[in-house]
Chains A and B, each alone.
Chain A
């Protein structure tokens, strides 16, 4: 498609409690087929979406956290996590899943463990 645009998906909600994170991820997956320039930002409670070791068994809801790691296969590789949002919630990048993303701006935290 010649008309390539930049899409920034802003994730502001925790992964569970509301359906926003799950249904937003569905948009990202479908949108990948359109081969656009896609970035994902995680701010506020949205940083919880990338937490490592999520377990939803007790809550009885779907654990879709592994899908974030698969996004690279769909050419979705730019993840931006706001450092302040992590700090406000007592989190560090070490608490996040190992996902490769670009570090284009000092305002955003870097990937904890970049995949080769």
Chain B
């Protein structure tokens, strides 16, 4: 089965990103496909490479990046939600005259159309978070 995943909460405050990660990993291990992982609302905060969690805790951004690299996942951060919350790639930083970008490896910034498209293409759209 093809799953599209939506992550609507940032890391650590809420368990949604952890649960989405474990669901995605388990689905892949069972031989299912992941159409796309779409990060929306505060979920875009999973896509900054500047988080530095304590060493005895999990690093969610790194977990997502590694899972993405291993399975060639399409990890998409919503551009409108990202701009509100200061998640930028190099192009967006330049376009808005900002002095830095922070998008994490394996993530890309794109529009909400990617969410709708994932919903159309996947067999199931699974939403994590409030």
CA distance A34 to B120 in the complex (A): 9
Residue of A nearest to B117 (CB): A34
The answer to whether A30 touches B116, judged by C-beta atoms less than 8 angstroms apart, is yes
In angstroms, Cα B112 to Cα A76, docked, is 17
Instruction: Knowing A3-B120, A26-B80 are in contact, say whether A19-B41 is a contact too (CB < 8 A).
Output: yes
Contact status B120-A5, CB under 8 Å: yes
Residues of B contacting A23 in the complex (Cβ-Cβ under 8 angstroms): 40-41, 80-81
Which chain A residues lie closer than 8 Å to B119 at the CB level? 5, 7
What bracket does the count of chain B residues touching chain A fall in? 10 to 19
A residues 25-72 with Cβ under 8 Å of B? 26-27, 30-31, 33-34, 36
Establish whether residues B120 and A1, one from each chain, have CB atoms under 8 Å apart when the complex forms.
yes
B111 within 8 A of A: yes
Q: Are B40 and A30 in contact (CB under 8 A)?
A: no
Contact between chains at A20 and B41 (CB < 8 Å) = yes
- Chain B binding surface, main DSSP class: helix
A26 pairs with B41, CB closer than 8 A: no
Q: Are B130 and A30 in contact (CB under 8 A)?
A: no
Q: Mark B109-122, 1 if CB is under 8 A from A, else 0.
A: 00111011101110
Residues from chain A with Cβ under 8 Å of B41 in the complex: 19-20, 23
Give, as a whole number of angstroms, the nearest-CB distance from B43 to chain A.
10
Interface centre among B113, B116, B117 (most CB of A within 10 A): B116
CA distance in complex: A20, B40 (Å): 10
- List B residues at the A interface (Cβ < 8 Å): 40-41, 80-81, 111-113, 115-117, 119-121, 130
The majority secondary structure among interface residues of chain A is loop
A19 to B116 CA separation, bound complex (whole angstroms) = 19
Q: Do residues B130 and A13 form an inter-chain contact, with CB atoms below 8 A?
A: yes
Report the nearest B residue to A29, measured CB to CB: B112
13 contacts between A and B (CB under 8 A): A5-B119, A5-B120, A7-B119, A18-B130, A19-B41, A20-B130, A23-B40, A26-B112, A27-B112, A30-B115, A34-B113, A34-B120, A36-B120
Contact B111 A30 (CB under 8 A): yes
Asked whether B116 lies within 8 Å of A34 as measured between CB atoms, the reply is: yes
CB distance from B100 to the nearest CB of A (A): 24
A20 to B112, CA, bound (A): 15
Contacts of B40 in A (CB 8 A): 23, 27
